[in-house]
Amino acid sequence: MYRSRFLARTMIGMDYGAVAAGERDLNYGIRTLRSMADEGLPVICANLYERGQRVFPPYVIRKIRGAKVGVLALLGEKPREIEGIELRDPAFEGRAALGKLRRECDCVILLAHMEREKLLEILPSLAGVDVVIRGHVRGGEKERESCADTFLVVREHAGLPVFFAGDRGRNLGLLTLTGSRRARPSVIESALIHLDGSVADDPATAEKLEAHRIEERVNQRELQLSGLLARDDATGRLVERYLGIEICRRCHANIMPRFIASRHFRAFETLRLRGEAANPECLACHTTGCGRPTGYDPAAEKEGAVYLQGVQCEACHGPGTLHDRDGSYMKSARESCRACHTSKWSPDFDFETFWKRASHCMRADSM
């Protein structure tokens, strides 16, 4: 979804004039695509309905070099089950829109998001279209075949050019049309420009892409994490729950080598070596979350609860379900030391010197 949004925003920035809705553009639901349309993506589709209403406008009319160009979009394949969504007959809906477009515009372009066979089937009933641009690549349909398809269809339907620009934005199609008040427009030139390495990147877009990639990595990690987080049904707030170091390790592997070498990690081992591992007086400071809900509990441990021996991440940062990036999860850790480093057990404690010794941080300023 993040990626789709990025693509949509980039297309808005590129000033796209019309975008035909494809069935997979609805993978995240109507609301998501509609929110992109609200941001300025000119999504159109004449035969997609939701509870009797068109989801998007059927067409747009643009002024291009003094000519009025109508762009109509039709979808050939039903999106996967979405409640209330209905795909109406593209031939019928197309014809209905064409009446008006034909009267108002100098040129009518059909964006057909459908398979070739489907297009060939409905084309005869779509009189008034001047040019067709087809999209939609099926898994088995190879790119080269699809491009060759362009010329094939042109021949079969003399006078009605059908173009196909390939998938994933790897090609840019260029069409030059000419027409007059009396004659409908005709294509005088067409080219497919391969957007390969020979076409220089736009620096501003390249920068945005890099930023997006970084954001995507962070988001993905967070999404995984949020799958672990439980919320209180009534309040919607995160429930405090200890997750154990194995969970933290999944995403913070870089911290692990230093942490595992620390005395905090081995604090339970210290008790075991002294034969004090079952002494409740010692557990509070040599384990994680002892005495708190879902924290270390010798009885639960025997039944296979989360591993919480030793002073783990959550002993300082707090339950993993409170994992936040607003700084609070760091602050709680800075303030945690004194709970265990009491004057009795740690008379020399001083944050600066002790944190230097105990730090797992990879950042130079935290060492």
CA–CA distances in Å: residue 297 to residues 268, 281, 304, 306, 322: 13, 13, 11, 10, 20
* Span near ligand HEC by CB under 6 A; candidates 27-35, 69-77, 161-169, 263-271: 263-271
In whole angstroms, the minimum distance from the beta carbon of 27 to ligand HEC comes to 23
Q: How far is CA 201 from the centre of its chain?
A: 23
In whole angstroms, the minimum distance from the beta carbon of 8 to ligand HEC comes to 24
Is-contact 30 82, C-beta < 8 A? Answer: yes
Q: By CB under 6 A, is residue 284 in contact with ligand HEC?
A: yes
- Per CB under 6 A, the list member of 286, 295, 297, 306 interacting with ligand HEC is 286
In whole angstroms, the minimum distance from the beta carbon of 170 to ligand HEC comes to 31
Q: Which is nearer to ligand HEC, 27 or 294 (CB)?
A: 294
Q: By CB under 6 A, is residue 276 in contact with ligand HEC?
A: yes
* Span near ligand HEC by CB under 6 A; candidates 61-69, 86-94, 179-187, 245-253: 245-253
- Per CB under 6 A, the list member of 12, 187, 282, 305 interacting with ligand HEC is 282
In whole angstroms, the minimum distance from the beta carbon of 230 to ligand HEC comes to 13
Q: By CB under 6 A, is residue 364 in contact with ligand HEC?
A: no
Residue 310 has what DSSP assignment? S
State the Cα–Cα distance between residues 136 and 25, nearest whole angstrom: 11
Q: Which is nearer to ligand HEC, 83 or 348 (CB)?
A: 348
Give residues with Cβ within 8 angstroms of 112, minimum separation 6.
20, 73, 74, 76, 119, 132, 133, 134, 135, 136, 162
The secondary structure element, H or E, covering residue 197 is: none
Q: Where are the alpha helices (DSSP H) in the chain?
A: 2-13, 30-39, 90-104, 116-122, 143-156, 203-226, 245-251, 256-260, 267-273, 280-286, 298-302, 313-317, 328-334, 351-358
Q: Which residue type, as a one-letter code, is found at position 40?
A: G
Q: How far is CA 121 from the centre of its chain?
A: 35
Q: By CB under 6 A, is residue 237 in contact with ligand HEC?
A: no
Please name which of 52, 40, 48, 37 lies closest in space to residue 13, comparing C-alpha atoms.
40
Q: By CB under 6 A, is residue 21 in contact with ligand HEC?
A: no
Give residues with Cβ within 8 angstroms of 332, minimum separation 6.
316, 317, 318, 322
* Span near ligand HEC by CB under 6 A; candidates 48-56, 79-87, 132-140, 222-230: 222-230
Q: By CB under 6 A, is residue 313 in contact with ligand HEC?
A: yes
Q: By CB under 6 A, is residue 306 in contact with ligand HEC?
A: no
* Span near ligand HEC by CB under 6 A; candidates 186-194, 229-237, 300-308, 350-358: 350-358
Q: By CB under 6 A, is residue 261 in contact with ligand HEC?
A: no
State the Cα–Cα distance between residues 66 and 133, nearest whole angstrom: 22
- Per CB under 6 A, the list member of 33, 37, 264, 308 interacting with ligand HEC is 264
In whole angstroms, the minimum distance from the beta carbon of 236 to ligand HEC comes to 21
